[in-house]
């Protein structure tokens, strides 16, 4: 491939020992090997308060604008979503709520869906349980579709995550690696098709 696809990889968790942060690291490695130009984002690096319209009226936080810029700059996304109570995390929802909120009077960000529209999104999850966080993806999919993203049909939920990584933080089985690669490949393929259109 002559041109690397800018690809954003991040997890919906900031927990130090998060399985989904580990998965995001493994996804970033695989995506890089498949020809992506990867930005591995850590949400802990951004100071994002709980969304509140009154707070927003006083001025959109600078880190929210930074996230808007980063999300917009990457046509391909790979999101690793933890599962809390059968759904995605409050952190992930809060991030999406801020990034999708229009900035009134701003010529660049007055359209709330600007950072989302047309992005190709691959969804993955990891959990110590047998379902691997699959239910979080069933909730996250319609949210991303509502924001005008193209969600890759291929998804992967990594079960028994406590046994799934080697000492270097990479996936320890061919099964897991091949399933992650399948999601990555579909996202990169679809992104290239949309860029040709």
- pTM summary value: 0.96
The 3-state secondary structure of the chain reads CCCCEEEEEEECCCCCCCHHHHHHHHHHHHHHHCCEEEEEECHHHCCCCCCCHHHHHCCCCHHHHHHHHHHHHCCEEEEECCCECCECCHHHHHHHHHHCCCCCCCCCCCCCCCCCCCCEEEEEEECCCCCCCHHHHHHHHHHHHHCCCEECCCCEEECCHHHCECCCCCECCHHHHHHHHHHHHHHHHHHHHHHHC
pLDDT tens for residues 9-56? Answer: 999 999 999 999 999 999 999 999 999 999 999 999 999 999 999 999
CATH of 5-196, one of 3.40.50.1100, 3.40.50.360, 3.40.50.970, 1.20.140.10: 3.40.50.360
pLDDT above 90 coverage of the chain, percent: 97
pLDDT tens for residues 157-197? Answer: 999 999 999 999 999 999 999 999 999 999 999 999 999 87
pLDDT tens for residues 73-127? Answer: 999 999 999 999 999 999 999 999 999 999 999 999 999 999 999 999 999 999 9
């Amino acid at each position: 491939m002559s041109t690397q696809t800018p690809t954003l990889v991040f997890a919906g968790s900031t927990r130090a020992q998060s399985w989904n942060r580990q998965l995001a690291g493994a996804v970033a490695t695989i995506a890089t090997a498949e020809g992506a130009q990867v930005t591995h984002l850590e949400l802990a690096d951004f100071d994002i308060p709980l969304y509140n319209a009154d707070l927003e009226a006083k001025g959109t936080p600078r880190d929210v604008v930074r996230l808007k810029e980063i999300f917009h700059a990457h046509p391909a996304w790979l999101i690793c979503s933890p599962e809390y109570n059968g759904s995605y995390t409050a952190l992930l929802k809060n991030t999406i709520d801020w990034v999708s909120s229009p900035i009134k009077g701003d010529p660049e960000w007055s359209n709330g869906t600007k950072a989302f529209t047309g992005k190709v999104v691959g969804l993955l999850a990891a959990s110590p349980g047998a379902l691997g966080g699959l239910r979080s993806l069933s909730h996250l999919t319609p949210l991303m579709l509502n924001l005008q993203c193209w969600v890759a049909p291929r998804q992967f939920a990594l079960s028994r995550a406590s046994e799934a990584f080697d000492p270097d933080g990479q996936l320890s089985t061919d099964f897991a690696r091949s399933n992650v690669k399948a999601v990555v490949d579909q996202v990169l393929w679809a992104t290239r098709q949309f860029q040709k259109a």
